[in-house]
Amino acid sequence: MCATSPAIRPHTSQTEPRKNGQEPTPAGVLAIHNAYFEFVPEAEMGSPCARTFGCHELEVGGQYFILLTTSAGMVRYNIYDLVRVVDFRGQTPVLEFLNKGAHICSLVGEKLTEHQVTTAVNAVLAERRQAVHGYVLAPRAASTRARVFWSPTPRAFLPCLRAYLAQ
């Protein structure tokens, strides 16, 4: 796990330091002393011939699922975390948590991820300079479309979100 994954981000203020004036990112250096980590490329997960890589073999920009081995007896445990490699500190990857592997919606084969929805919602909110307290993307019964529910409901939000998700 990274020190700034969504599961523990509320409990820490750590983020990667700014580089060249850029904003800090929600990425963190892999905690290599806590467990042994193997990584499976996103496109190969579930394949009987999926390759695994050590943390030093990953590529910047690559997206991987994590297999975890601990001293407590878990061996190659799939925690279903999808991460992106954003940098390295020496041979240790700096990882950005994208989503849990189970958080994928596929009404008609589009494979819409939680990360894509979050990115779209955040982009529309930033463009409109609006904020919401929370939102949910839910499928419509007997339809190939989904609905977004949020609180509070800004009127201009839905058309922008639909356009962004259609890209």
Residue, of 8 and 28, whose pLDDT is higher? 28
Model's pTM, two decimal places?
0.57
Q: Are strands 27-29 and 92-100 parallel, antiparallel or unpaired?
A: antiparallel
Using pLDDT thresholds of 50, 70 and 90, give the confidence band for residue 145: confident
Task: Name the phi and psi angles at 66, rounded to 5.
Answer: -100, 135
Structure tokens at 148: 């977004």
φ and ψ at 81, to 5 degrees?
Answer: -90, 130
Is residue 25 very low, low, confident or very high in pLDDT (cuts 50, 70, 90)?
Answer: low
Query: How far apart are the C-alpha atoms of 117 and 104, rounded to whole Å?
Result: 10
What tens digit of pLDDT does each residue of 83-99 get? 999 999 999 999 998 87
**What's residue 118's pLDDT?**
84
Alpha-carbon gap, residue 126 to 124, rounded angstroms: 5
Over residues 18-37, the mean pLDDT reads 76
Contacts of 133 (CB under 8 A, 6+ apart): 150, 151, 152
| Interval 121-141: pLDDT, tens | 888 888 888 777 677 777 776
| DSSP bridge pairs for 29 | 94
Could you tell me the pLDDT band of residue 162, with boundaries at 50, 70 and 90? confident
pLDDT range class, residue 152, cuts 50, 70, 90: low
